[in-house]
A = this chain, B = another copy of it.
Amino acid sequence: MISFEEILAKYKPDSEERSRIDSLRDNLLKQIHGFLASNRIDARPVLVGSVAKGTNLKGGDLDIFIVFSKKYSTGEMEKTGLKIGHTVIPGGKEKYAEHPYVSGTIDGTKIDIVPCFDITANSKLISSVDRTPLHTDYVLKNIDEKKMDEVRLLKLFMKRAGVYGSEIKVSGFSGYVCEILVIKFGSFIDVIKMFARSKGPVVVSEDDSDVIRFHSAVIIIDPTDRSRNAAAAVSEENLARMKIASKMFLGKPDPGFFGKPKDFVASPYRDRGTVQRIFLLEKPDIIDDVLYSQAIRFKGIIFQILEEEGFYPISSEFAISDEIEVFVECKLEVLPKTKVHTGPPVDTPNVKEFIEKWSLGNAVRGPYICGDRLCVDIELDRRTIEEVVRKRIMEYGIGKNIDPLKNAMKIIDPSKTGRKFLVLGKFYEESIL
């Protein structure tokens, strides 16, 4: 039998970590209170995130929101928020979510100081960041020590399955969604049973009428805002992954289902009897969510071009290393020298003109009859993946950060180099377990 206690003993913060985090938190809150008082600012610091909710794993972050009165403008709120952040985190860096915020590390713990507005449950939407303190309140009112550990188990399970995190990079389940699920179903194992049993989309709501507006793989109505799907980020594929992991776990419970996600390492080329290409772009200095969404779009466009042009792509993958790496595997390396140019239907008067035009020797073959039309084979000028993609990629807007880099795109045939690529490791080793 599997021992959940042993798993928790390994991944739950120990007493040393807890007391270190507690004193770090107290110290930060004291400093912020001091700043707000001496500058007469109508705001209050609120500890949010998993530490506030008692569902944090070993080595987790400390997130403090500064909740401003709505009397301030967004500009004032953001400016003051950054100032407080820089004051309490020496050497902190500015980052950008819905509002700018300061992020840094103290004593090995990552700390975010995020400004936001004071809103109430189910009130008119201001921004999703502003809603975070409400999530903390909701969870704290509905959770107990036992359930906090159940949430930890669910997070560890989802991490290992590769579906934990609502950022675009993962497109999975957030910590808040884990908390809602455990509160709703009672325990880790009941959540797992729900996923293992479920067919089609997973829906969790108190009122069916709230669900209608959403068309996501997973719909979990936010208890603090009925108009919001807390699980909107979860992709179809990650729901499938979670269903399968749940089925496998129930069949054979094992500690191996908990912990860190599988790590991919760079791999050299493997011969699969296919045509493999890696499209490399310089990595722009932008936040992950923007980077990943543009990289995914880049991958999709490359695949589409190769499909339209007849290289028969069969698989694709992407990875972010020092560069944006897009991998595509095709069946065809070089297009035929000719392509069929379809002319008018044989029943139209245009056939005369078509035949006269193409009988002058500028067709490679024909005119001949193809079905109810005339056709000729004409010469193709661009025939390699490199020629075709370089030309056609310019027709697409991929994203404002990537577009200026398209000209410097490198196209690599991995069979011609000993170099290892992260995207090859990710592709070759992709597996559900």
Contacts and interface: CB of A to CB of B under 8 A. Distances in A.
Interface stretch (A34-42, A114-122, A330-338): A330-338
Interface string A122-156: 00000000000000000000000000000000000
Among A335, A364, A383, A431, max chain B CB count under 10 A is at: A431
Interface in A36-76: none
Contact of A352 (B236, B247, B273, B334): B247
Interface stretch (A173-181, A237-245, A297-305): A237-245
Copies in the complex: 2
A354 to B, nearest CB: 10
Contacts of A199: 347
A172 to B, nearest CB: 13
A161 B17 CA distance: 92
A208 interface: no
A421 interface: no
A286 interface: no
Interface string A369-395: 100101001001001000000000000
A355 B272 contact: no
A352 B432 CA distance: 11
Closest CB pairs A-B (n = 4): A273-B337, A240-B346, A199-B347, A273-B336
Interface of A: 198-200, 236-237, 240-241, 243-244, 247-248, 251, 271-274, 310, 312, 314, 331-332, 334-338, 340, 346-347, 349, 351-352, 355, 359, 364-369, 372, 374, 377, 380, 383, 428, 430-433
30 contacts: A198-B347, A236-B372, A237-B369, A243-B347, A244-B346, A244-B351, A244-B355, A244-B369, A247-B349, A247-B352, A248-B355, A251-B352, A271-B337, A273-B334, A273-B336, A274-B337, A310-B331, A312-B312, A312-B331, A314-B336, A314-B340, A331-B336, A332-B332, A355-B432, A355-B433, A359-B433, A365-B428, A366-B430, A369-B432, A374-B432
